[in-house]
Amino acid sequence: MQLIDSIVSRAADFVAIRRDIHAHPELCFEEVRTADLVAAKLESWGIEHVRGLGTTGVVGIVHGRDGGACGRGVGLRADMDALPIQERNDFGHASRHKGKMHACGHDGHVAILLSAAQHLAESRDFDGTVYLIFQPAEEGGGGAREMIADGLFEKFPMEAVFGLHNWPGMPAGALAVSEGPVMGSSNEFKITIKGKGAHAAMPQNGVDPVPVACQMVQAFQTIITRNKKPVDTGVISVTMIHTGETHNVVPDVAEIQGTVRTFTIEVLDMIEHRMREIATHTCAAFGATCEFEFERNYPPTVNHPKEAAFARQVAVEVAGADNVRDQEPTMGAEDFAFMLQDKPGCYLFIGNGDGDHRSVGHGEGPCMLHNPSYDFNDDLIVKGASYWVHLASKWLGQSRP
């Protein structure tokens, strides 16, 4: 991999920063200490920055040798928030805050972008401007959406925006990028079935919501198998059914909850419409009624073709063709999707390895995302930072898109 010497020489500094952030995790929209750390580092390197977008977001502004006079710009994004998970690791940089943990590697993403920021500020070997986007609240808070609402793309005019996320199970430092959908939309539903309670020995006196719920759950799967094209991807997962309090009473109410994931808004629209119809008419067939709630959280993450091709080209140049692969789409969700709805760009993966880096003090279980035994692979910092520098410099060095 084409690593940048100045980044390699300071690797230990950014490993220390990453582990400090890991030890002090902050949940969505609470990233005050992390934002303070980011802002202090940017200031120490002479990087202009703005705080407060999306509540705790920070945007660094690195002008090139022309002082940004050409008007061109590119954005690089790192997420900052942690998860409400109790960490099981017991190494020295384990979380010091009960019930909070960097179990998705956002601590590493921040360290990668800070490392790239320092080099860019020192070299300024480009024309135009690199915008360093340190985003809060990716884990369910929609921090990207909130930064956009606060004027991210108006205040910091960029031609394209790029995001990078570590991916366990992929060889450390390998890069994966593809055009089109790479992560699913995230949506949740809650259906409250209202029947009529009765003695369980005399069910004819009531309207039992339990068989209604059972019929409904089964019927939802026909949406996946019979209402959409087989080549269109969609998932309906019922994950909770709550009803009843004792063995001899027909309950009044049953509640169904779960999630829906898709790669397109069109399929999502169809699924929501059909779920509502099935819920309403199934209840009517049994003499019950229902309340149907459907909340759309994150849209699908869809990479733009030109930007994905560019990111892949840079990946091949930096890491070598053998270390670049197609990005297998996943139904996990990512709020970088909001940025890609407003701005051309690409979201790619960098391999976090198979967990061998956790040689001391890690807990039981695999080193997977959102796992209490997870830890970011510090070897990725120099690799990710070198990639960011190459990508930003090459983007600004190409002909205006």
pLDDT digits (tens, 9 = 90+) for 178-210: 999 999 999 999 999 999 999 999 999 999 999
- Nearest Cα residue to 54 out of 137, 158, 157, 110: 137
CB 101 within 8 A of CB 82: yes
Q: What is the mean pLDDT of residues 107-135?
A: 98
Domain spanning 186-298 has what CATH number? 3.30.70.360
Q: What is the mean pLDDT of residues 143-153?
A: 98
% of the chain with per-residue pLDDT over 90: 96
% of the chain with per-residue pLDDT over 70: 100
**173-187: b (≥16 Cβ within 10 Å) or e:** bbbbbbbebbbbbbb
Q: Which residues contact 349 (CB under 8 A, 6 or more apart)?
A: 164, 165, 166, 167, 170, 175, 176, 177, 327
What residue ranges in 96-252 does DSSP mark as E strands? 129-135, 160-168, 175-176, 180-183, 186-194, 198-199, 234-243, 249-250
What pLDDT, on the 0 to 100 scale, is given for residue 41?
Answer: 98
pTM value surpassing 0.75: yes
Q: Locate 240 and state its tokens.
A: 């909770």
| 352 pLDDT more than 90 | yes
Q: Which residues contact 111 (CB under 8 A, 6 or more apart)?
A: 14, 15, 17, 18, 21, 381
Q: What is the pLDDT of residues 260-282, one digit of tens each?
A: 999 999 999 999 999 999 999 99
What residue ranges in 299-396 does DSSP mark as E strands? 301-303, 324-325, 345-353
- Nearest Cα residue to 26 out of 56, 69, 1: 56
| 61 pLDDT more than 70 | yes
Q: Which residues contact 273 (CB under 8 A, 6 or more apart)?
A: none
Question: What is the residue-averaged pLDDT of the chain?
Answer: 97
Band of residue 358 on the pLDDT scale cut at 50, 70, 90: confident
| 166 pLDDT more than 70 | yes
Band of residue 1 on the pLDDT scale cut at 50, 70, 90: confident
Reduced to 3 states (helix: H, G, I; strand: E, B; else coil), residue 378 is coil
CB 347 within 8 A of CB 182: yes
Rounded Cα gap, residues 229 and 224, in angstroms: 8
What pLDDT, on the 0 to 100 scale, is given for residue 101?
Answer: 98
What pLDDT, on the 0 to 100 scale, is given for residue 349?
Answer: 98
**78-98: b (≥16 Cβ within 10 Å) or e:** bbbbbbebebbbebebbbeee
- For the chain, what are the domain ranges? 5-183+300-397, 186-298
Q: Is CATH 3.40.50.10470 the classification given to domain 5-183+300-397?
A: no
